[in-house]
């Protein structure tokens, strides 16, 4: 009889351990948050310029423009600000800022989840201060005329073979850039692009490739925006409906190595608990 409290305690501990191991296996993000550090430029460094490349080291974080769900603690990108320029959404660990004037500069890096609003768990904004010595050449004149954006592909109503869709845009009298220093500059900016219900992508070139698009009907929304991410009245958002046919979308890879299944670990804990209760019943008879 005296052994029963010990047996029950061990059974409860086994059950708790089973569940905790199962949860850790199913959600490795619980144990390993993303980590981001600035590799270059070094804080306090003097670099030639006028172009400066920011390089980041990333752990436990998938940097992607292909997110298919709103929240994933191991999936996101960066909002990066240099001096007082508008922030740039960067989907990689390197970006080059061009035409920085000679003098002191500051870059701020914010790791964010795919919906752009929440920080990556476990991370903090990073800041690096540095100096450049070279003066940039004179800036090119802004495009003149009436801006126009055209979706070249996919065509409205088209059927795309396979699970890869390439969006191709044509810009007339509009500069597509991630280097804008004026948040409200005319005829200059980038795009907010949404495929179906995926998180929108802040894109700064004329081509974007979507992967793992499932078969069926889809909608692409392309919204031209200013450097400051505001809508442009002269360039309303465009919607293109199309279909895909072919291979089904591949499952997103898991962020951790496969482990013991959740059900097996939970069952083990229940088994040990049941065994303890059985021993107690026999001891009491």
pLDDT in tens, 96-107: 999 999 999 999
CA dihedral in degrees (96, 100, 102, 108; nearest 10)?
Answer: -70
DSSP state of 248: P
Residue 242 CA to residue 162 CA, distance in Å, equals 13
CB count, 10 Å around CB of 281?
9
- In which residue ranges of the chain is pLDDT below 50? 1, 3-5, 7-31, 249-285
CATH architecture of 32-132: Sandwich (2.60)
C-alpha 210/C-alpha 221 separation (Å) is: 13
Give 30's DSSP letter.
G
CATH class of 148-245: mainly beta
Residues 176-210: tens digit of each pLDDT = 999 988 999 999 999 999 999 999 999 999 999 99
| Residues 56/93, Cβ–Cβ less than 8 Å | yes
The residues spanned by each domain of the chain are 3-27+258-284, 32-132, 148-245
Give the pLDDT score at 246.
Answer: 75
Domains 32-132 and 148-245 are alike in CATH topology: yes
Contact between 222 and 240 (Cβ < 8 Å): yes
């Amino acid at each position: 009889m005296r052994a029963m409290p010990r047996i029950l305690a061990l059974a409860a501990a086994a059950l708790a351990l089973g569940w905790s191991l199962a949860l850790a296996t199913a959600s490795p993000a619980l144990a390993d948050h993303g980590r981001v550090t600035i590799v270059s430029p070094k804080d306090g460094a003097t670099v030639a310029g006028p172009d400066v490349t920011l390089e980041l080291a990333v752990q436990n974080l998938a940097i992607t423009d292909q997110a298919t769900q709103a929240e994933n603690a191991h999936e996101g990108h960066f909002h990066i600000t240099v001096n007082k320029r508008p922030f740039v959404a960067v989907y990689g660990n390197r970006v080059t800022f061009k035409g920085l004037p000679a003098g002191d500069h500051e870059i701020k890096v914010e790791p964010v989840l795919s919906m752009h609003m929440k920080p990556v768990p476990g991370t903090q904004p990073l800041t690096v201060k540095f100096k450049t010595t070279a003066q940039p050449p004179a800036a090119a004149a802004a495009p003149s005329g009436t801006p126009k954006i055209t979706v070249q592909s996919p065509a409205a109503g088209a059927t795309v073979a396979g699970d890869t869709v390439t969006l191709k845009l044509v810009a007339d009298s509009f500069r597509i850039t991630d280097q804008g220093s004026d948040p409200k500059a005319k005829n200059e900016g980038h795009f907010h692009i949404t495929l179906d219900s995926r998180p929108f992508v802040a894109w700064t070139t004329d081509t974007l490739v979507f992967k793992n698009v499932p078969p069926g009907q889809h909608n692409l929304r392309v919204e031209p925006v200013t450097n400051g991410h505001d809508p442009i009245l002269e360039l309303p958002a465009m919607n293109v409906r199309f279909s895909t046919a072919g291979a089904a979308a591949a499952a997103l890879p898991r962020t951790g190595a496969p482990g013991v299944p959740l059900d097996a670990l939970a069952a083990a804990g229940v088994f040990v608990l049941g065994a303890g209760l059985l021993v107690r019943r026999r001891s009491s008879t």
